[in-house]
Amino acid sequence: MKNIAFALAFAMLLPTYLPSGRAHATSIEDPKTVALLGYAGDRFQLVRKREAVGSNQSPYVRKEVKLKGPELSRLVLAGLDKAAEVAFPAAQRVQLEWQPDEALLSQLDSVRGSRREAMMEAAVLAHLRALPQRQEWDQIIVVLPKFQFSDAKGLGGQLMGMGVYVQPLEKSQLDVNGLSLDPLPSDSSDDPAAINPATGERVTAFRYTAPYFFFQTLTLDAKSLMVLKRVVRLDNLKYANPDDQHRGSQADLSSDLLAKAMGRLVERSAMRTVGGDVTVGPVKPVAPAPKQP
């Protein structure tokens, strides 16, 4: 229940912590008008390494939270728009929002993996095909989540879409059926670098919290909807406070800092697929905008 409440609180914070910042990039092509569509999916994964596992247990605890509303997708679209602004500075950018209706969501829930991805992509293409204004555009860049399970160094296995991985263990910490194992071949043993959320400096850490995003980016010819380029990425940013490394738990990020960190991750991911990169700095909480009376 605590994880579910956290994910819901995180989703509520997304409109406040949209990506910001600029980076230099050189564009390969120079479209005059580019349309952008970002969809993050309707579920958020929470994956945590178990501190003790039995022989028949998965080494990870997983929770999947279904979220309604466009907040996650707007986060993706904001990052994609920032990346396109850098990659194509002279181009006019058109932002498109797309959300599947209840009937399509029900169909998507009935399939898994590549079939789910294909059904979602077909639905997006049908939506775009019905837009007559695309005849005035040059390219359409679409970001969609990947639902085929994937592994990444330093993260748990079988990740998909968007979520957070928590590594709570040091290399020597693991208990299996009451037996203490030392040393532990930690997921992070080959990649101990993380980011201090307070300073933006890289630190060595074996306990961390890592927002991740597993997605594909399609670059389409706007008029024919032919796929010009397809890029698949699984990106993550590991955050750790050096002061937390010996306290018996992972470096903790509050929900507001985590929302900001997710925004940075999405912006960096979009930048890399569109044609540039972005430097990750300190994660600083920003006061929420005052409510309108």
Predicted local distance difference test score (pLDDT) of residue 149: 65
Q: Is residue 284 part of a domain?
A: no
Q: What share of the chain is helix, strand, coil (3-state, %, to 5)?
A: 30, 25, 45
Task: Using the structure block, give the residue that is written with the tokens 């879409």.
Answer: 161
Provide the residue type at 46 as one letter. Answer: L
| Total number of domains constituting the chain | 1
In a domain, 40, yes or no: yes
> What residues contact 280, with CB distance under 8 A and at least 6 apart?
195, 200, 237, 264, 268
The reply to whether 82 falls in a domain is yes
Domain-embedded: residue 291: no
Q: Which domain holds residue 155?
A: 2-274
Q: Residue 123: inside a domain, yes or no? A: yes
Residues 242-274 have pLDDT tens digits of 776 555 444 456 777 777 888 788 878 877 778
Residues 125, 225 contacting (CB under 8 angstroms)? yes
For residues 53 and 59, give the distance between their C-alpha atoms in angstroms, rounded to a whole number. 6
Q: pLDDT of 195-243, one tens digit each?
A: 887 788 888 877 888 888 889 999 999 999 999 999 888 888 888 877 7
In angstroms and rounded to an integer, the radius of gyration of the C-alpha atoms of the chain is 20
Kindly state the average pLDDT of the residues 38-60: 78
The letter for the amino acid at 268 is R
- What pTM does this model have? 0.73
Structure tokens belonging to residue 43:
């579920």
C-beta separation of 113 from 199 below 8 A: no
CA distances to 27, 32, 133, 232 from 90, in Å: 10, 7, 20, 26
For tokens 């208990």, name the residue: 175
Q: What is the DSSP letter of 180?
A: E
- What is the reported pLDDT for 200? 80
pLDDT at site 10: 53
The answer for residues whose C-beta is within 8 angstroms of residue 177's C-beta and 6 or more apart is 54, 55
Structure tokens at 274: 């569109």
**What value does the mean pLDDT of the chain take?**
74
Q: Is residue 224 part of a domain?
A: yes
Query: Edge-to-edge strand order for the sheet containing 52-53?
Result: 52-53, 175-176, 179-180
Is 293 a domain residue?
no
What confidence score (pLDDT) does residue 154 get?
67
The predicted pLDDT at position 288 comes to 40
More confident residue, 222 or 280: 222
What pLDDT does residue 286 have?
Answer: 37
Binned at pLDDT 50, 70 and 90, residue 22 comes out as very low
Query: Residue 270 corresponds to which amino acid?
Result: A
- 225: alpha, beta or left, given left = phi > 0 and alpha = psi -120 to 50? left
Per-residue pLDDT for 285 more than 70? no
Q: Is residue 36 part of a domain?
A: yes
Average pLDDT over residues 31-54: 84
Confidence check: pLDDT of 148 > 60: yes
